[in-house]
Amino acid sequence: MPQPVEPARANTASATSPLVEHRRYQPWPAGHAHDHHQLLFGLDGATELEIDGHLYRVDRHNGLIVPAGSHHEFLGLAGNLQVVADFPGASVALPARLMEWPRAFVLDGALGMRVQALAALYPASTCTAHLNWTVAATLAGDLADALGASDRHDAASMFPVMAIDAYLRANLSSALHAGHLAEHFGWSVRRFHTLFAEAFGDTPHRYQTRLRLDRAVQLLAGTGLPLVDVALASGYPDQTTFTRSFTRRFGQPPGAWRASAGGFSPPTPGPG
């Protein structure tokens, strides 16, 4: 019996680029593992997945994080449809700790509405690096907001990963060095830097840069702001610094990126 196969990455995306698309799973059991993280956001019907003996359900009200390397069995039920986001570890900015184990999340409130809105706007048949980055960055930011609101960590007893992530997202216009962050969250600088690298998979400076560029790709696609205003809104001091950072990460300057990403305008991110 044939089995559903994860679609190959588009030629426009590199191995470190996200892939976001509508996907239906067939009504017979199949299973595999892959080297990228996968986020499933239910739209219609339901899909069941089993990971490490635990059964998860993805439907209109429930999503799921599938960590890279996790073997998962899956079965599509009648009418299933989901937005599936394949996130290599070095792509959009989300804490590595968030992706260490399977995690179900609820698609309600702002996150549920955003998923439905993006699914309606995002062309199901289109798969380009530019659109994938824009939609992936938007989904990542909303998921981080939703999970951060549900995680109530005591900063005095454990490292508050999602609170730190939320603080960075809310302060993109400030250069938040490890010393500032350590003081704000009550840790020594050396200990904070070590724990941050373990939890986020990156240094504070590099992770903040990824957050800023995630913001930039959303603004480039979703607004008509001049490039200098995109730079300032993304936390850069000037357009030259922004262009250099953007080009280093994406292989082309922001003006060329915007020209290639035309035709899709996701809801823009809130102010930092």
Q: How does pLDDT run across 127-145, given as a tens digit for each residue?
A: 577 888 998 999 999 999 9
Residues 59 and 167 in one domain: no
Domain end position, chosen among 92, 126, 160: 126
Residues whose CB falls within 8 Å of the CB of residue 176, separated by 6 or more in sequence, listed in order: 167, 168, 204, 208
pLDDT value of position 147: 87
For residue 184, the domain's CATH number is 1.10.10.60
pLDDT value of position 121: 73
For residue 103, the domain's CATH number is 2.60.120.280
Residue 183 φ/ψ, nearest 5 degrees: -65, -45
Residue 62 φ/ψ, nearest 5 degrees: -140, 135
Residues 54 and 107 in one domain: yes
- Residue 8 belongs to some domain of the structure: no
pLDDT digits (tens, 9 = 90+) for 172-227: 988 888 899 999 999 999 999 999 999 999 999 999 999 999 999 999 987 889 99
Provide the mean pLDDT of the chain: 86
Query: Is the distance from CB of 60 to CB of 40 less than 8 angstroms?
Result: no
Residues 116 and 155 in one domain: no
DSSP helix/strand/coil, 172: coil
How many structural domains is the chain composed of? 2
Domain end position, chosen among 126, 141, 166: 126
pLDDT value of position 67: 95
- Residue 132 belongs to some domain of the structure: no
d(CA 88, CA 37): 6
Its domain, for residue 48, covers 19-126
d(CA 83, CA 42): 6
- DSSP 8-state code for residue 251: S
Q: Which two tokens stand for residue 63?
A: 């999503």
Q: Which two tokens stand for residue 248?
A: 């280093």
pLDDT value of position 120: 80
Q: Give me the average pLDDT of each 10-residue run along the chain (272 residues).
A: 40 65 93 94 96 95 95 95 92 93 91 86 65 90 85 61 94 88 93 95 94 95 91 95 96 91 56 44
- Residue 14 belongs to some domain of the structure: no
pLDDT value of position 250: 92
pTM for the predicted model, two decimal places: 0.86
- Residue 146 belongs to some domain of the structure: no
Residues 48 and 160 in one domain: no
Residues 161 and 121 in one domain: no
pLDDT value of position 123: 59
